Amino acid sequence: MNQSTLELSENIRHRLLSPSLAQIRYLGFAGSMMIVLGSLAPGSPFTSKPVGSWFIGIQGSPFVFDQVPSYIAQVILYLGLLAVLVSWFQIVRAVVAKSVTTKFLLVTSLWWFIPLLIAGPLFSRDVYSYAAIGEMVSRHISPYLYGPNILGATPYLNTVDPFWGNAPAPYGPLFLWIAGASAVLSGHDAFVTMLILRALSIGVVIAIAAVAMKVAKIAGYDPKLALVLVGMNPIFVYHLASSAHNDAIMMLGLALGVWAFKRNHHYLATFAITAGASVKVPVIVAVAAIAFLSTPERNLVSKIVPAIKHGAVMIATLAGFTVASGVGWGWIHNLSTPGTVVSPAVPTTIVAAWLSRFVGLFGIHGSFGLLLTLFRGLGLLLAALITLYLVYNISTLGFEKAVGLSLLAVVLLGPVIQPWYITWGLMVLAMKPTIRTTSAIVFVSILGMVLGLPDGPSIVAWTGYSLAAIAAVVFVASRLKVSRAAELLPIINSAGRIDLVLARSFENL
């Protein structure tokens, strides 16, 4: 092989292994387009297909990707997701290497996201339930007492997932007010109500990314890394912005609270975080972290007064939103509603399932429901203990790490894990993006995207628990090896002394 051929081969290899930033951008754009095409197939499980759910890709719409079999369309979408994940990973690497500008990231994010506006809400139908809840609020029907089915045969109900038809809303008063206002603003048009909520979610995710960049800069880290880990993270783009989950509004309150805390506005931070909790409760753990850091002393007695003050701000804020919305406190009673979903990816669920099968060997059947309730309770208790430990050690861990890990513990040990739930903790961790934290966020985000696929929970469950089992076996084996070696050490020493005595004896012969 001559020199020119070797140089050409090396050049091709370099281009394949080290793509240019332009190539990465185009690959991500192509991936987004493939996702859009795959979602337009009539049998696509990634978007809602009832009439009135979107402009295109449904029966009677101007364009349906119906000339290609459904399984081919799914393959196209999966390949698109893979292209987006690879592109995002390469962008993260480029930011870590400090070889990319903020302008490039902003333009690239537009290239990647704009095609998604062609497709309907991806991977979830929750936004249609939000719209129906908003219509109920606007009609003075309490979503805390009734499910969307109370609306009867209306366009709002056509697109709601039947699983949630009779489920009361578990959302806080702030979100119910927002949803109700959206229904009124739309003129009680179901489709327009959904569009308003989706547009709001997209704007909120953009705001979250901007706040994350500001917090990272205050903390002394590269704001571009916070941007790529939040604003360009596929799990944020697809499961918060595109799917329009109300978790985004909750997370904006949390992000603003962290920002205010970093600027030493502690009570304003508590107000902002509590506003987020008025959509969904879990972010309230950040208030405990703020109260704990309000005084420099570590002894618990010194924390009592700050805890009372921040608790008073929290209660007053919740009460204010509840009274202003006029929907009452029924959401507290309905917090268990999401727990009706049973997922194999949840640790407490899989433990309950295994134990139920085990006791079934002894003729005890039908114990799964009881065991599931028991282990879910134990899981929440363990999550609370982990949160207390992290908050107590917050001075060592840092605010972002303690709060981020606490939220991840709440999700992991809670009754159900959804991809968008994972973003709660990832957002806070991304505000202080060390190299180790960045690597962990990338890994967890990829798992989260797999979790959001139709068979994702089973894939994540088998993969995650298999890796955990292997790690446990390796750990136990290594400990036993060390322990066994320690037990054999006196014998080895004794044998050595015996050998020495025998050797000297032979020397004397």
Whether the CB-CB separation of 223 and 214 falls below 8 Å is answered with yes
Among residues 244, 242, 226, which one has the least CA distance to residue 234? 242
In DSSP terms, which residues pair with 309 in a beta bridge? none
Quote the pLDDT of residue 95.
Answer: 92
Quote the pLDDT of residue 499.
Answer: 42
Using one digit for the tens of pLDDT, what is the confidence trace for 344-371? 667 778 888 778 877 777 766 667 778 8
With a pLDDT cut of 70, the percent of the chain lying above it is 84
In DSSP terms, which residues pair with 122 in a beta bridge? 47
pLDDT tens across the length of the chain (509 residues): 555 554 444 454 444 445 688 889 999 999 999 998 888 887 778 888 888 888 887 777 777 776 667 778 888 999 999 999 999 999 999 999 888 888 999 999 999 988 888 888 988 889 999 999 999 999 989 898 888 989 888 888 888 888 888 888 889 899 999 999 999 999 999 999 999 999 999 999 999 999 999 999 998 899 999 999 999 999 999 999 999 999 999 999 999 999 999 998 999 999 999 999 999 988 888 998 888 887 766 667 777 888 888 889 999 999 898 888 888 777 777 666 665 666 666 777 888 877 887 777 776 666 777 888 888 888 889 998 999 899 888 888 888 999 999 999 999 888 888 889 999 999 999 999 988 999 999 999 998 888 888 777 777 767 766 777 787 788 777 767 655 545 544 544 544 444 443 334 333 33
Model-wide pTM > 0.85: no
Quickly list DSSP for 38-66: HHTSTT-TTB--STTS-SSSSTTSS----
Identity of residue 124: S
Distance CA 429, CA 109 (A): 21
Q: What is the CA radius of gyration of the chain?
A: 27
Using one digit for the tens of pLDDT, what is the confidence trace for 174-197? 999 999 999 999 999 999 999 999
